[in-house]
Structures are given as structure tokens and as C-alpha cells.
Amino acid sequence: MTTDYDFLIRIAFEAREKSLCKYSGFAVGAALLCRSGEVYTGCNIECGAYSATVCAERVALFKALSEGKTEFSAIAVVGGNVDETETVYCSPCGTCRQILWEYCDPDDFEVIIARSDVDFSVHSLSELLPFPFAGSKE
């Protein structure tokens, strides 16, 4: 598994520029790396009916799944106030952790939480979601 994630982080920052975050002012970008090498991007998409908002990670994952992709190796996530170029460490929310766990290998999928292409940490899903709802998966 690659640890050379600077390219994926840069793509996540590009995706963040598309963020539709007029309610929270918090812009998030995600870049999902398929095992095939393809990358699917996502940004957060907000709605005046707040609960209809979708996180950047899920947008990326749903785009990939809906195109028939099923094998994933990593996702890079970046986020921060929309007016600021400096970002924070944007760790995926609980809902995103759960659905990533559903469709990615908990022990062979890396979540890259980045502030820049040289400032990031790498986590497994097992680390981020140690006691998931498994439903009928296991």
C-alpha cells in the first residue's frame, strides 16, 4: 500500500473548491482512490433543510459506487473555513465512518486527514471506527 499520498491530497483540495457550504461556511473536499488507480472526488453539498446535507466523503464514495467501483484503497479529506486557505484536520464524521466501513476494507483502507500535502496523518477504518454496527456484513 502506498504512503505517497501527496497527489491524492492535492486532488482533495481541488475538490474542496467546489464545496457548496453556504450554511456552515465550512468547506470540505475528499478524494477517493480506487485500487484500479482511478480517483473519485467529492465536496460537501449543503441544503437549507439541514439534514439533507451530504458530506464530501460520502459524495465521493457514492459517485464511485454508482459507477460500479467496489475496490478502494484510500481517501484523503481536507476541510476548513471556506474563506480561509489554511485548513484544519477534518476527521470524517461518524456517519461517513460507518459507510466507509460498509464498503471499504476496515484493515486495508487508509484515511488520510490532511492540512497540506506534507502535513497529514494516516488511519485505518478499524482505528477510526473500532466497534461498528456490522448488520449483515459479518
Give the pairing type, strands 110-116 and 119-124: antiparallel
Considering only residues 52 through 71, tell me which ones interact with ligand THU, judged by CB under 6 A.
Answer: 53, 55-57
Q: Whose Cβ is closer to ligand THU: residue 4's or residue 109's? A: 109
Q: Does residue 7 interact with ligand THU by CB under 6 A?
A: no
- Cell 499520498, located at residue: 5
Could you confirm whether 57 is annotated as catalytic? Answer: yes
For residue 80, state whether it binds ligand THU (rule: CB under 6 A). no
What distance, in Å, lies between the first and last C-alpha atoms of the chain? 24
CA–CA separation, 109 vs 122, rounded Å? 10
* Binding interface with ligand THU (CB under 6 A): 21, 24, 26, 28, 44, 46, 53, 55-57, 92-93, 96
